[in-house]
């Protein structure tokens, strides 16, 4: 019998390892492809989410399960494309990727609710789908939901439904800057 909880744990190791390439520790600086550093200069906001506050049920499996609207600013001038990674990081150290979107147009400063604008494409997530997997808060398991926007030095040309590790690796090697909005259950 398939267990979603077991699947999350089994894919969490792979996702966590690849997320290390994208996740900053300590001072918030990543190694990037061009100048050796990646800044945290992008500001990510949402009319429906507030930093550090509870994510509304509408965007979880307890509600409609649609992706929330997001906005960003502060992109580097050399940005050629954007990517979005939505993940859950558990206090235990595990992680699950709920959504990977690449090929977002840097001239468009927002992502409307429940959409993937053309020409953007979705990569596979930790749940083996190329779509937004609604966040499911779990009682007793401390975690945070992160919506991270990446400014990229070039487009990610992987096509629709690229494997999770491939998509995250491609994003990591092209990252110029990033910004994050974090919610809690």
CATH number of the domain that residue 84 is part of: 3.90.280.10
The values of phi and psi at residue 121, to 5°, are: -135, 160
Name the average pLDDT for the chain: 82
Domain that holds residue 121: 4-183
Q: Give the SS3 label for residue 5.
A: helix
Which are the contacts of 41, defined by CB distance < 8 A and separation ≥ 6? 74, 76, 177, 179
Query: Mean pLDDT over residues 95-105, rounded?
Result: 96
Measured CA to CA in angstroms, residue 159 lies from 5, 29, 80 at distances of 29, 29, 17
Query: Mean pLDDT over residues 132-153, rounded?
Result: 86
Q: How many domains does the chain have?
A: 1
Measured CA to CA in angstroms, residue 87 lies from 16, 36, 97, 108, 149 at distances of 10, 25, 4, 22, 12
**pTM passes above 0.85:** no
pLDDT confidence tier of residue 181, bands split at 50, 70 and 90: very high
Other residues' Cβ atoms within 10 Å of the Cβ of residue 144: 16
Per the CB < 8 A criterion, the answer to whether 173 and 24 are in contact is no
Position 142 scores a pLDDT of 66
Per the CB < 8 A criterion, the answer to whether 4 and 12 are in contact is no
Position 8 scores a pLDDT of 43
HSE of 143 in the Cβ direction (CA atoms, 13 Å)?
21
Q: Give the SS3 label for residue 90.
A: strand
């Amino acid at each position: 019998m398939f267990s979603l909880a077991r699947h999350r744990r089994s894919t969490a190791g792979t996702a966590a390892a690849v997320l290390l390439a994208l996740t900053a520790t300590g001072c918030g600086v990543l190694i990037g492809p061009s100048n050796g550093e990646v800044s945290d200069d992008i500001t990510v906001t949402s009319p429906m989410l507030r930093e550090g506050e509870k994510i509304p049920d509408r965007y979880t499996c307890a509600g409609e399960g649609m992706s929330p609207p997001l906005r960003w600013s502060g992109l580097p001038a050399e940005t050629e494309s954007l990517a979005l990674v939505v993940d859950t990081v558990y206090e235990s150290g595990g992680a699950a990727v709920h959504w990977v979107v690449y090929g977002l147009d840097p001239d468009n400063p927002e992502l409307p609710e429940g959409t993937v604008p053309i020409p953007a494409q979705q990569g596979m997530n930790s749940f083996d789908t190329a779509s937004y997997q609604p966040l499911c808060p779990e009682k007793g398991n401390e975690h945070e939901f992160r919506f991270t926007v990446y400014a990229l030095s070039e487009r990610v040309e992987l096509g629709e439904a690229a494997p999770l590790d491939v998509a995250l690796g491609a994003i990591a090697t092209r990252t110029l800057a990033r910004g994050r909005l974090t919610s809690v259950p």
